Amino acid sequence: MLKERVTNNLNTCILPFWKGMIDKEYGGYYGLLDFDLKLDKKAIKGCILNSRILWFFSNVYLTTKDSSVLPYADHAYAFLKTYCLDQEQGGIYWSMTYDGKIDDSTKHTYNQAFAIYALSSYYDASGNKEALELAMDLFHVIESKCRLGDGYGESYTKDFVPNVNDKLSENNVIADKTMNTLLHVCEAYTELYRVSKNQEVRERLYWSTAEFLNTVYNPELHRLEVFFDADMNSIIDLHSYGHDIEATWLIDRALSVLNDKELSDRMAPMIMDLTEQIYKVAYENHSVMAECEKGVVLTSRIWWVQCESIIGFYNAYQKCGDVRFKQAAEDIWQYIEDHLIDPRPNSEWYSEVDADGMPSNRLPIVEPWKCPYHNGRMCLEIIQRIS
């Protein structure tokens, strides 16, 4: 059974591994474990990494009620509040040194969103009202300092002067706006509204959710566009399979929290169209490929894409009852067990494998983007969704 298998991986692999990454001397969690399982205790600590770890331990508690994980969330919260947060000008920095000094003072909208996401969950798990206050402060940072037109800009200096968005732009483009940042602002506001019921948050959550249908979705190509100029014109021919399938269930989650039937009814065809397209063009050989740029498919299998595909397909199965999607979710989990879970002791999952299922590129096991957010969340989602 899928639920039992992911529960076992959560309990015997993901949880113990990330508990072991705690830095009890300098705070937070270590930032780099290379492919050969060599820990660099002096590597930078990405603020996104530590936000996602805070989210993870908070949600393990919310799902399992295992109070033994709360001290790990408390530890992540203390580091985020003490070091990652700019106490003077507001906002979360991009990264810190191993001992809590500023490494990169960039204030990126995406990074603010993940801190909101984590702090909201931590408030729910711990009852710490300070965490909710910090989340609301960051909401106001985004809304007052990171807006570009109706939507959101990307990257800013320490004092919120716009700068080049070289952290989230890829594929040789520099974008003024990205689907990825909008998606995770929507995700963050979903969690913040869920725990706060603040009407200002609700208004911006409604806008960010509807914006996918209004400007991001390309119905002719059955995809979400990825990189945009300031006026939301797409600037590259790119289909990000992983982000599209992730968006299907995150938007559904936002719609559920908003509880607005008219908006849900309008967006339902888009969500199903995106799901069907990923199933049709990206689900191949028991797994989901990464992306397609200008007609060229990147055939590597990335850990987070498989995780989001499991949730997205299972969400679709729950909505429409089509057994194809349930079977796809189970099939991808088998692929993860066969190829992405690192069998070596004291390791976790590989970041990426090639089309033959081999981890040929030797990417780190832990780095600023590789954390328990995707695989841990997938386990928790499946545990919650299967009775």
pLDDT tens, position by position, 300-320: 999 999 999 999 999 999 999
| Residue 261 domain boundaries | 2-385
pLDDT at 361: 83
| pLDDT tens digits, 250-274 | 999 999 999 999 999 999 999 999 9
pLDDT of residue 169: 73
Would you say residue 166 has pLDDT above 90? Answer: no
| Cα–Cα–Cα angle for 323, 324, 328, rounded to 5 degrees | 115
Written as one letter, the residue type at 291 is E
Average pLDDT over residues 173-193: 97
Mean pLDDT for all residues in the chain: 97
**367: Cβ contacts below 8 Å, ≥ 6 apart:** 31, 32, 46, 351
Q: Say what the pLDDT of residue 81 is.
A: 98
Average pLDDT for residues 340-349, to the nearest whole number? 97
**295 φ/ψ sector (left φ>0, alpha ψ -120 to 50, else beta):** left
Q: What is the DSSP string of 100-138?
A: S-EEE--EEHHHHHHHHHHHHHHHHHH--HHHHHHHHHH
pLDDT value at position 101?
98
pLDDT digits (tens, 9 = 90+) for 278-307: 999 999 999 999 999 999 999 999 999 999
Is residue 172 pLDDT above 90, yes or no?
Answer: no
Of the chain, the percentage scoring pLDDT greater than 90 comes to 97
What's the pLDDT band for 275 if we cut at 50, 70, 90?
Answer: very high
So what's the pLDDT on residue 333?
98
Q: What mean pLDDT comes out for the span 321-332?
A: 98
Average pLDDT over every residue of 75-92: 98
Q: What is the pLDDT of residues 125-142, one digit of tens each?
A: 999 999 999 999 999 999
Q: What is the mean pLDDT of residues 229-236?
A: 96
Task: Give dist(CA 235, CA 17) in Å, integer.
Answer: 40
| 360 — pLDDT class (breaks 50, 70, 90) | confident
Asked if 92 contacts 49 with a C-beta cutoff of 8 angstroms, the reply is no
Where residue 83 falls (left for φ over 0; alpha for ψ -120 to 50; beta otherwise) is alpha
Side-chain half-sphere of 31: how many Cα atoms within 13 Å?
22
CATH code (residue 72): 1.50.10.10
How sure is the predictor about 168, in pLDDT bands with cuts at 50, 70 and 90? confident
Give the per-residue pLDDT at 2.
98
Q: What is the mean pLDDT of residues 32-53?
A: 98
φ/ψ region of 285 (left if φ > 0, alpha if ψ in -120 to 50, else beta) reads left
Cα separation of the two ends of the chain = 12
Residue spans of alpha helices (H) in 197-341: 199-211, 241-258, 261-281, 303-320, 323-335
Q: How many domains does the chain have?
A: 1
Is residue 170's pLDDT more than 90?
no
- Please choose, from the candidates 288, 339, 342, 293, the residue with its C-alpha nearest in 3D space to the C-alpha of residue 311: 288
- Percentage of the residues of the chain whose pLDDT score is greater than 70: 100
pLDDT of residue 335: 98
Stretch 71-96: mean pLDDT: 98
Sequence length of the chain is 387
Asked if 249 and 312 touch (Cβ cutoff 8 Å), the reply is yes
Mean predicted confidence (pLDDT) in 177-181 = 97
